[in-house]
Amino acid sequence: MGRVRAMPDGHYLSTYLTEPGMPFLNNSWTRHDNNISLWRKSGSQVSLLHYWELERFSGIKHHAFGVADREQATRMLDSLLGDAAVRMSDIVEVWGTPDVGEQYSNAAEWYADVALPYHSICHLFSAALLDGQPSQDRMVLGFAVDGGPDTVIDDPDDVHWYVGGVFGRGSAEFFPVESPGPLYNMAARRYNLEEGTLMALAGASPAHVELPELQAEVLSGVRFYGRTAFSDSAEIVELIESTVQRRLRVADLPPLDGLEDRGHVLSAVMKHVQAISTAVMERNVEETLARCDLDPRETDLAMAGGYALNCPTNSHLMRRYGFRRLLAPPCANDSGQSLGIGLATFHARLENFEFRFPGAYLGSQQHSLEGALDRYGDYVTDTRPIDLDEAVRDIRRGPIPWVNGRAELGPRALGNRSLFCDPTRTVAKNQVNRLKGRQNWRPVAPVVMADRVTECFDDARASPYMLETFVATSETATRAPAIVHLDGSARVQTVDEQQNPLLYQLLARFDAVTGVPILGNTSLNDKGEPIVQDVGDAINFCLRKGLSVAYLAGFRVEFANGNSFPETVPALRRFSDFSASAEKLAELTAKYNPFSLDGYHLLVWLRVPEVRHGLDLHDSTHLPTARRRVDDWLARYPSDREWYLAAPDDLARYLKDLQARGFQFGQTDPAE
pLDDT of residue 3: 45
Residue 359 falls inside a structural domain: no
DSSP letters, 264-304, are HHHHHHHHHHHHHHHHHHHHHHHHHHHHHT--GGGEEEEEE
Rounded to an integer, the average pLDDT of 302-321 is 98
Helix axes 535-545, 369-376, angle to 10 degrees: 40
What is the distance between the alpha carbons of residues 13 and 138, in angstroms, rounded to a whole number?
29
Q: Which amino acid is at 438?
A: R
Check whether 108 has a pLDDT greater than 90.
Answer: yes
Q: Is residue 643 part of a domain?
A: yes
Instruction: Kindly state the percentage of the chain with pLDDT values over 70.
Output: 98
pLDDT at 2 over 70: no
3-state secondary structure of 437: coil
Question: Which CATH number characterizes residue 248's domain?
Answer: 3.30.420.40
Same domain as 457, residue 581: no
Number of domains in the chain: 4
With beta carbons less than 8 A apart as the criterion, state whether 280 and 180 touch: yes
Give the C-alpha separation, 404 to 535, whole Å: 9
Structure confidence at residue 231 (pLDDT): 93
Given pLDDT bands bounded at 50, 70 and 90, which one contains residue 332?
A: very high
Asked if 187 contacts 277 with a C-beta cutoff of 8 angstroms, the reply is no
Quick check: 273 pLDDT over 60? yes
The average confidence (pLDDT) of the chain is: 95
What's the pLDDT score for residue 441?
85
Print the domain residue range for 611.
577-667
The verdict on 100 and 120 lying in the same domain is: no
The alpha carbon torsion through 315, 317, 318, 321 (nearest 10 deg) reads 150
| Contact call for residues 398 and 391 (beta carbons, < 8 A) | no
User: What is the model's pLDDT at position 1?
Assistant: 44
Domain boundary among 105, 131, 162: 105
Which string of DSSP letters, residue by residue, matches 610-625? Answer: GGTTT--TTSGGGHHH
Neighbours of 128 (CB within 10 A): 30
| Cβ-count burial 622-657 (b if 16+ within 10 Å, e if not) | bbeebbebbeebbeebebbbebbeebbeebeeebee
CB atoms within 10 A of CB 435: 23
Confidence band of 450 (pLDDT split at 50, 70, 90): very high
Sheet holding 162-168, edge to edge: 171-177, 162-168, 139-144, 299-304, 326-327
**Domain presence at residue 75:** yes
| Residue range 608-641, pLDDT digits in tens | 999 999 999 999 999 999 999 999 999 999 889 9
Structural domain includes residue 653: yes
Residue 535: partners with Cβ closer than 8 Å, 6 or more residues away:
366, 367, 368, 369, 371, 372, 403, 552, 553
Contact 666, 579 (CB under 8 A): yes
| Domain end position, chosen among 513, 541, 564 | 564
Same domain, 492 and 433: yes
Q: pLDDT band for position 365 (50/70/90)?
A: very high
State yes or no: pLDDT of 257 exceeds 90.
no
For the chain, how are helix, strand and coil distributed in percent, rounded to 5? 45, 20, 40
Question: Above 60 in pLDDT, residue 671?
Answer: no
Arithmetic mean of pLDDT, 200-213: 92
270 shares its domain with 407: no
Q: What is the pLDDT confidence band of residue 254, given thresholds at 50, 70 and 90?
A: confident
Tens-digit pLDDT profile for residues 287-310: 999 999 999 999 999 999 999 999
